[in-house]
Amino acid sequence: MEDKYGNEIKIRQTAYDRFVFEMPNNDVIINVLFKKTVDNETINKMPFVDVTENDWSYEFIKYVYENGIMKGVSDTLFEPRNNTSRAMLVTMLYRLDNSLIDDQYELKFSDIDENSYYEDAVKWAEKNNIISGYSSDKFGPHDNITREQLVTILYRYAKYKNINIDYELINDNKFNDIRNIGEYAVDAVNWAISCDILQGINDDKLDPQGFATREQIATIFMRFMQFSE
């Protein structure tokens, strides 16, 4: 606060959040700035009404949300148990890498919508050999991603980033559905389990060809990001 001559007037805070000053012998100019304050408990909460602190996946979802890797499906919904598309998964990795794509790069896939939210991400992933399609020209961007597809893409991304991809072979007795792993995904699944990035959905079931839910993806991404630090 200043008087009309530009001299600063000292302000004191008293009890009950009141502020007082000594009135000079001339006019004063009062400029007030109101600042919204939020308590720490509110700051630390996510905006999603379908994710609570009692959920097993809460810390994983909070981590990927705060790191800008996953967003909600709306301002207030995360839908943790919904599936995720292949395009969305690649977009998440693209955000993590924070890369730029060559606008002149031409996709080989014919089923990628131009100017879609995922077009640049798919270009980046294809150019860097992080993804491959179902065939020479089909990627299936809107198909739900499976757990083994998810870790295969992470495995290729780890190669691209020169992250350790050493692994130990899975014990055949660890999961009763281990033989369901697709041949293309065996190395990636072994690596992900060895690094504790991928775990079973229970003690004896891996469910490699089951669809990955959003909360599972949040969990795997948090483990991967911490592993690669």
Nearest to 227, CA basis, from 158, 151, 156, 153: 158
Mean pLDDT within 88-109? 87
For the chain, how many residues are written?
229
Give Cα separations from 24 to 14, 20, 27 (angstroms).
Answer: 19, 13, 7
Closest CA to 127 of 105, 145, 143, 148: 105
Place of tokens 């790069």: 105
Residue type, 193: I
Q: Residue 106: what pLDDT?
A: 87
pLDDT of 109 > 80? The answer is: yes
Least-confidence region, from 18-27, 104-113, 115-124, 197-206: 18-27
Q: How confident is the model at residue 13 (pLDDT cuts 50, 70, 90)?
A: low
Read off the pLDDT of residues 31-77 as tens digits, 9 standing for 90 and up: 666 554 444 444 457 899 999 999 999 999 999 999 999 999 999 99
Quick: pLDDT tens for 14-36.
433 456 667 777 776 666 665 54
